[in-house]
Amino acid sequence: MIESESTVPRIGQIVQVLTGNERGSYSIVVQQLDERFVLIADGDKRRFDRPKRKNIRHLQMCDHVSPEVHNSMMETGRVTNGKLRHAVSKFVEEISEKKGDAFNGKR
């Protein structure tokens, strides 16, 4: 997993939760409240209509922004839970493939 150089979260950015009950899970930033807090959702346990308010210090910013989620949020101000689930699962699949390649000696 690559941590972003920028600590400023972007709409549609994948984050890993570092603290709390959802520790270790991946979510997507759906709104920035201020310089310290964002709203995150994953489309499954955390739906778009009930996002989790999280301090950005409790999140690891991944260097990936989902274009589908970002575009949907910019155009309509909403995103479907299906798009959120798809973006998270696609990202998790990509990083598991990279870990598998690294384990098998490929790069």
Residue 98 banded pLDDT, cuts 50, 70, 90: confident
Q: Which domain holds residue 33?
A: 13-102
In a domain? residue 79: yes
Confirm whether 59 is domain-assigned.
yes
Domain count, the chain: 1
Burial of 65 (0-12, 13-18, 19+ CB in 10 A): middle
Q: Residue 93 pLDDT more than 60?
A: yes
In degrees rounded to 5, what are phi and psi of residue 39?
Answer: -105, 130
33: domain CATH number is 2.30.30.30
The chain-wide mean pLDDT, for the chain, equals 90
Residue 8 within any structural domain of the chain:
no
82 sits in which H/E element: helix 81-103
Sorting pLDDT into bands at 50, 70 and 90, what band is 35? Answer: very high
Taking the C-alpha atoms of 26, 30, 56 and 24 in order, what is their torsion angle to the nearest 10 degrees? -10
Please name the helix (run of DSSP H) or strand (run of DSSP E) that holds residue 92, with its range, or none.
Answer: helix 81-103
Q: What is the pLDDT of residue 97?
A: 87
Quick one: pLDDT band at residue 8, thresholds 50, 70, 90?
confident
